[in-house]
Amino acid sequence: MKGLAGQIAYWGSVGATKTFTHPVNLDWLTGVSRVARFLDYGCGYGRVMGELSGYGFSGISGVDLSPALIDRGRQLRPELRFAVLESPPALPDASGSFDVVLLFAVLTCIPDDNAQQALIAELVRVLAPGGLLYVSDMVLQDDERNRSRYAAHAQEFGTPYGVFATDDGAVCRHHDITELHALLADFDLMDERRIDVATMNGHRSQAVQLLARKR
């Protein structure tokens, strides 16, 4: 389950049934035009897209590597623009195509450092100068259950600390906040907040949201 093929298999089966819960902080989007060009990268079934559409944002599109999640989104919200990522992380869009990119609970699904860096580089490319990147993702947890999972996976696979396998077959990553800051080194960090979320498997966990501006 470590490679891209494994991710697609998971998100095309049991993963396509999950409920996603990371909240949108609308205060961070107060100054964004209602016709701004939004990209929800890893949009799943379009939950965040639908919420933003309900608040009057009209230029929203979403992409995901899972055809099953995209089909679910199209059935739930046929008025929204969905597309399947054919060769992630590559996007077909021209450089500077978007004013805001959303990255909600996506990095947790990408255990590998190099793959994360490649994704962020692609998002830098498609963001317009001064564009916003809004990240919501999982941080390292302090409870014994998670510490045991992190240690077991690192011992078996030599992955970065914080990677683990769920009981239903996903390979995920929780992050030290310094790792996320380093990943966004090409951005100016505008704001940061810690939040409590329900994971896709129903556990309460700590997450962080970061709002960053492309230089």
Structure tokens at 117: 């860096």
pLDDT band of residue 3 (cuts 50, 70, 90) is low
Q: What is the mean pLDDT of residues 171-191?
A: 97
Across the chain, mean pLDDT equals 95
Pairing of strands 127-138, 98-104: parallel
User: Quick check: helix, strand or coil at residue 59?
Assistant: strand
Q: Which CATH entry fits the domain spanning 4-14+23-138+176-214: 3.90.420.10, 1.20.120.1200, 3.40.50.150, 1.10.260.40? A: 3.40.50.150
Contact predicate 63/85, CB 8 Å: yes
Structure tokens at 26: 């609308």
Q: What is the mean pLDDT of residues 19-42?
A: 97
Q: What is the mean pLDDT of residues 140-160?
A: 95
The domain spans of the chain are 4-14+23-138+176-214
CA distances from 77 to 47, 53, 88, 105 (A): 9, 10, 23, 20
pLDDT at residue 159, as a whole number: 86
